[in-house]
Amino acid sequence: MSNQLFDAYFTAPAMREVFSDRGRLQGMLDFEAALARAEAGAGLVPHTAVVAIEAACQAERYDVRALADAIATAGNSAIPLVKALGKVIASGVPEAERYVHLGATSQDAMDTGLVLQLRAALELIEADLAKLSDTLAQQALQHADTPLVGRTWLQHATPVTLGMKLAGVLGALTRHRQRLQELRPRLLVLQFGGASGSLAALGSKAMPVAEALAEQLKLSLPEQPWHTQRDRLVEFASVLGLIAGSLGKFGRDISLLMQTEAGEVFEPSAPGKGGSSTMPHKRNPVGAAVLIGAATRVPGLLSTLFAAMPQEHERSLGLWHAEWETLPDICCLVSGALRQAQVIAEGMEVDAERMRRNLDLTQGLVLAEAVSIVLAQRLGRDRAHHLLEQCCQRAVAEQRHLRAVLGDEPQVSAELSAQELDRLLDPAHYLGQARVWVARAVAEHQRFTA
């Protein structure tokens, strides 16, 4: 397990376990054990050797610190691990040691081990996305008619609903879940090519072994080895980048709604959560910070993977190495953001009354469009717009509510009754298709989940 100080904040424990030192080693060892079984099926390895190899393929049997020191000289993690694996086997069944890693290369073990880790990571992410989507769907339905001010360019615009905002996040997550489902068969494939990708060392047994190895590991056999074709990994990372961005948007909006001046939606409270070391009154959006932090960090990591794609010939120098910590870091950051997003979505505290008061902060100006649209049908668009613009300016200058100014304006009162004005200046009557958008987003989520 990692001992990084910030792990508990930025990473979900289950994801850190997948990409722990033990997780990395076990992925490679699972490859080696499966390779022995596949080659035994092809008549290349005796059964006694398979038993010995499988028994030795347990990560806890190896000294991580010693392997780490050896990597500095070897240049990758598979070389010292295979060497250590051979020693463990030779100490018990000496004749089995010759069959370890037969026909494979270091990158076969490392890349396939990584794919096994990514399969576990993908399952965690998909499960978290499904849970978060369920929660957002419930909250969006609950608040489908909860009006709050829409904000464009950080200024008050026209009314929206909280459910509509949450449905926007839900829609993005549903698309990301679809993307992950679509890429799964491209990502979960075997890497097995031997020294330069031709599997020449296994002769006529190469394809039977490759097919059996893929079956053993429950992976697909790709059209050919992909030692320096890294699009599969970068595609997965790119979708994780999209997820991080959507969660960052969610966190950004929550943090803005939590601002003292807004005070409309809050992260759930808990003892010691969001406090300040010096200001007892503070309630900081500590969960949203993780979402925004991940959305800020992941693009830079993703750019590293893109930059590492033009790998040389059949085995890369340095570019492959740049991937080793980058992709796991992306997975860990997204896992932490998903965990915090679930906490926020599940326990968010909504102050509908504060939303209502904030809608009236501009004394009716946010509903000027509603009046203008109706008047345009009676006076013409340009005339109505100019008239409402003058009324809005007068309301601001005189610090009066727009309703009062409109009521005093003969050109308006000649067209609109007091009852019509009251209705037009009620935010609840100017929510447009907000409820429809919620229903559509939830329906799409349900169709994908079914």
DSSP 8-state symbol, 15: H
Pairing of strands 147-152, 155-161: antiparallel
Query: Would you give the end-to-end CA distance of the chain in angstroms?
Result: 36
Query: What is the sign of the dihedral through the CA atoms of 396, 398, 400 and 405?
Result: negative
Token pair 């491209």 is found at: 186
315 assigned to active site: yes
Euclidean distance between CA atoms 150 and 157, whole angstroms:
5
Which residues are CB-contacts of 260 (< 8 A; sequence separation ≥ 6)?
Answer: none
Which residues are CB-contacts of 217 (< 8 A; sequence separation ≥ 6)?
Answer: 30, 31, 34, 112, 116, 190
Single out the residue of 359, 346, 345 nearest to residue 160, CA to CA: 359
Three-state secondary structure call for residue 397: helix
CB 111 within 8 A of CB 189: no
Euclidean distance between CA atoms 63 and 84, whole angstroms:
9
Euclidean distance between CA atoms 47 and 171, whole angstroms:
52
Q: Hey, which residues does 272 pair with through a beta bridge? A: none
Token pair 């839900």 is found at: 170
Q: Which of 179, 252, 297, 315 is catalytic?
A: 315
CB 150 within 8 A of CB 140: no
Q: Which of 276, 303, 381, 383 is catalytic?
A: 276
Euclidean distance between CA atoms 16 and 26, whole angstroms:
14
Q: Write out the catalytic residue numbers.
A: 276, 315
